[in-house]
Structure 1
Amino acid sequence: MFQVPEVSYEEAKRMLEEDSNVILLDVRTPQEHAQLRIPNSKLIPLDELRYAYKDLPKDKKYIVYCRSGERSAFATYFLRHMGYEAYNLAGGILIWPYEKVSGID
């Protein structure tokens, strides 16, 4: 399998707090996103990313997450291949111990 750079949830939280150029990208389905998500995350489902990535600013850093880290690993690999600075959130939302929200945003 391919290797992608990963960040721990502690490192991701620090990056989000300290760097306004970091965007949290959720690549799960809209239903999963509405059920439970990390606050202020941008939803682009994995199956739409191959088209929607062009709308993402290249001067930002992306922390990509899904449920457990598998879909986000593919998304991170793809984004890096397209020239973006992207990191996979290790373990996904399953192990995110900080605030989570639900409902339509």
Structure 2
Amino acid sequence: MFNVPEVTPEEAKKLLEEEGDKVVLLDVRTPPEHFQLRIPNSLFVPLDDLRYKYSDLPKDKKYIVYCRSGERSAFATYFLRHMGYEAYNLAGGIISWPYERESGEVKS
């Protein structure tokens, strides 16, 4: 497993509340997973696309990366940190997220 910094769901929620738009929740799961269930207001970049799209992400933000259980997001966090981003893995992924979640079409 990759040795990357992690944040608990509680720490992530606190960061989101205190730092607002300076923190981005990044969902790296597949499109069907994202459609089925996600954390509201998260940015969706599937792991398979991240290597092509990471440069579109602003470097002045903190990224809390999540997947289902934390394995794919650990890889994505490792990659982003290697590319110079401040990124943290959400410990336990979305299955450990006890706060609001949504499903279906993303509301614009």
Provide the TM-score with structure 2 as the length reference.
Answer: 0.95
Quote the offset at 1:44 in angstroms.
Answer: 0.2
Q: C-alpha root-mean-square deviation of aligned residues, in Å?
A: 0.6
Q: How many Å separate the matches in 2 of 1:2 and 1:24?
A: 19
Cα deviation 1:63-89 (Å, max 9, x = unaligned): 000000000000000000000000000
Seq. identity, %: 78
Residue of structure 2 in register with 1:4 after alignment: 4
**Unaligned stretches of 5+ residues in structure 1:** none
The alignment of Structure 1 onto Structure 2 pairs a total of residues equal to 105
Residue of structure 1 in register with 2:56 after alignment: 55
1:7-18 mapped onto 2 (5 Å cutoff): 7-18=7-18
**Unaligned stretches of 5+ residues in structure 2:** none
Quote the offset at 1:49 in angstroms.
Answer: 0.1
Q: How many Å separate the matches in 2 of 1:89 and 1:52?
A: 20
1:12-91 mapped onto 2 (5 Å cutoff): 12-20=12-20, 21-91=22-92
Quote the offset at 1:104 in angstroms.
Answer: 1.4
Aligned-partner residue type, residue 67 of structure 2: C
Q: Please state whether the residue corresponding to 2:98 is helix, strand or coil.
A: coil
Quote the offset at 1:60 in angstroms.
Answer: 0.4
